[in-house]
């Protein structure tokens, strides 16, 4: 039972990481020092998409699921709602490039707003 909880915890962390990668730049408007954490996360997220790499959290989650004796993603909320969003069916290299570009655009907008706000306040 604890392996399943660990797997679900990894999915939750993975989902929060994705949200942070995509939207964390906007948090820097409030907490400037957060940029030191967010920028490497965002670069990592874009590079993973552009290169078609697998995030290290994915094999960790799969390991926990295997140890829990699970044979797929049927079941609770985490498996049903978060996993399809993180691992869409038919994910192709082209789709990954598009996703990576969207992440890059959102973050460029966030940091452009951050710097604009800084210039406006100065």
**pLDDT tens digits along 78-109:** 455 566 776 777 778 888 888 889 999 999 99
Is the pTM value of this prediction over 0.75?
yes
DSSP conformation class of 31: -
If one counts every other C-beta atom within 10 angstroms of the C-beta of residue 50, the result is: 16
Tokens standing for residue 110: 């966030």
- pLDDT tens per residue, range 1-60: 699 899 889 888 988 998 999 999 999 999 999 999 999 999 999 998 898 888 888 888
Q: What are phi and psi for residue 33, nearest 5 degrees?
A: -65, -20
Report how far residue 66's alpha carbon sits from residue 73's, in angstroms, rounded to the nearest whole number.
Answer: 11
Tokens standing for residue 6: 């660990």
């Amino acid at each position: 039972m604890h392996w399943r909880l660990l797997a679900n915890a990894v999915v939750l962390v993975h989902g929060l990481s994705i949200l942070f990668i995509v939207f964390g730049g906007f948090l820097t408007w409030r907490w400037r020092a957060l940029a030191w954490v967010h920028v490497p996360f965002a670069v990592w997220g874009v590079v993973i998409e552009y290169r078609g790499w697998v995030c290290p959290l994915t094999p960790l989650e799969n390991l926990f699921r295997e140890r829990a004796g699970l044979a797929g993603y049927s079941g609770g909320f985490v498996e049903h709602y978060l996993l399809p969003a993180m691992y869409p069916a038919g994910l192709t290299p082209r789709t990954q490039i598009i996703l990576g570009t969207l992440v890059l655009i959102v973050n460029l907008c966030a940091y452009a707003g951050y710097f604009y706000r800084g210039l406006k306040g100065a």
